[in-house]
Amino acid sequence: LKHFLSIEGLDKGLLTEILDTAESFAGISEHQVKKVPLLRGKTIVNLFFENSTRTRTTFELAATRLSADVLNINIATSATSKGESLLDTIRNLEAMHVDMFVVRHALSGAAHFIAQHTAPHISVINAGDGQHAHPTQAMLDMFTIRQHKKQFEGLKVAIVGDILHSRVARSQILALNTLGVAEVRVIAPKTLLPAHVRSMGVIPLHDMDEGLSDVDVIIMLRLQKERMNSAFLPSESEFFKCYGLTEAKLLRAKPNAIVMHPGPINRGVEIASSVADGPQSVILEQVSNGIAVRMAVMTMTLGHHGGAA
């Protein structure tokens, strides 16, 4: 695994290896061991052209726990604001003998572009590119589902909200189907579903009562207003009425269903506070699991298989 750019094309064995490796790293913090020397001497560059709270910080924590050195490039104060191109920025960072770029960019394909043009010894991890993919988010979500449900076979999963603009949903759908869940439903108004939704391996539905019926996992998504034409912005109150997850709507799911959200959450828009903070919510567990999953992906791409063992 040289780069980690997308879930597309990865098989069940590899996804399971990432989850198993992450599990060995999750055990580290349980045993109060904060660091392992697996990536000592390596330099990781966090190159975030788009804002982030969870992904950037958990990548930094993951790298630190693997004993790597981390450079966080602040794009707002970097020379990109003086017109330096993406490739020139990469070339200059390469000249500092770095080993990995963790890239977030508003343009779909940006991480692939960097992977194609960077030096052969450098690994690239996609930390979210436009509407295309967010593969480490999908894997930390799979990790969280496996923690709670033990296996993927037989699970019914509903993904609710702005599927159209969601790189998270695209990566989750690929991972869920590869890992062998029984059913992936996407629940949204037609305007927030991609035109080719039927070819995505999902069941598209427009009604929450029908869509949430008997599901094991509910994944709520934020309205990605930054990727919408302002003329077509849905009304938040209308959206909440039809597609917001409330305690009443949650009753349609299995009693032990878990509620997930990649964050950031917009309370009262796609999810009620009582559900986000309620007993079925695993939203903050997703954040914690991001560290172990990113440790796994970093070690596997830099050629250190076998996790913490």
Binding residues for carbamoyl phosphate are 54-55, 104, 134, 137, 263-264
Question: CB-wise, 29 or 53, nearer to ligand CP?
Answer: 53
Phi, psi of 48 (to 5 degrees): -105, 105
CA 6 to chain CA centroid, Å, is 11
Between CA 48 and CA 106 the distance in angstroms is: 9
Q: Is 43 in the site for ligand CP (CB under 6 A)?
A: no
Q: What is the 3-state secondary structure (H, E, C) of 216-259?
A: CEEEECCCCHHHCCHHHCCCHHHHHHHHCECHHHHCCCCCCCEE
Q: Which residues are catalytic?
A: 54-55, 82, 104, 134
**Residue where the block lists tokens 């996804």:** 15
Question: CB-wise, 53 or 274, nearer to ligand CP?
Answer: 53
Question: CB-wise, 128 or 234, nearer to ligand CP?
Answer: 128
Q: Is 244 in the site for ligand CP (CB under 6 A)?
A: no
Nearest to 261 by CA among 247, 237, 244, 249: 244
Number of Cβ within 10 Å of residue 37's Cβ equals 9
Residues paired with 156 in a beta bridge: 183
Q: Is 260 helix (H, G, I), strand (E, B) or coil?
A: strand
CB of 186 to ligand CP, least distance (A): 18
Between CA 23 and CA 224 the distance in angstroms is: 31
Q: Is 273 in the site for ligand CP (CB under 6 A)?
A: no
* Stretch near ligand CP under the rule CB under 6 A, chosen from 67-75, 143-151, 236-244, 261-269: 261-269
Q: Which residues make Cβ contacts (< 8 Å) with residue 11, sequence separation at least 6?
A: 178
Q: Is 135 in the site for ligand CP (CB under 6 A)?
A: no
* Stretch near ligand CP under the rule CB under 6 A, chosen from 48-56, 195-203, 244-252, 296-304: 48-56
CB of 285 to ligand CP, least distance (A): 13
Task: Reply yes or no: is the peptide bond before residue 120 cis, omega within 30 of 0.
Answer: no
* Stretch near ligand CP under the rule CB under 6 A, chosen from 52-60, 80-88, 171-179, 272-280: 52-60
CB of 222 to ligand CP, least distance (A): 9
Q: Is 161 in the site for ligand CP (CB under 6 A)?
A: no
**Residue where the block lists tokens 């997703």:** 286
Among 6, 21, 46, 55, binds ligand CP (CB under 6 A): 55
Question: CB-wise, 137 or 144, nearer to ligand CP?
Answer: 137
Query: Which amino acid makes up residue 66?
Result: L
Among 29, 34, 53, 233, binds ligand CP (CB under 6 A): 53
Binding footprint of ligand CP on the chain (CB under 6 A): 52-55, 128, 137, 262-264
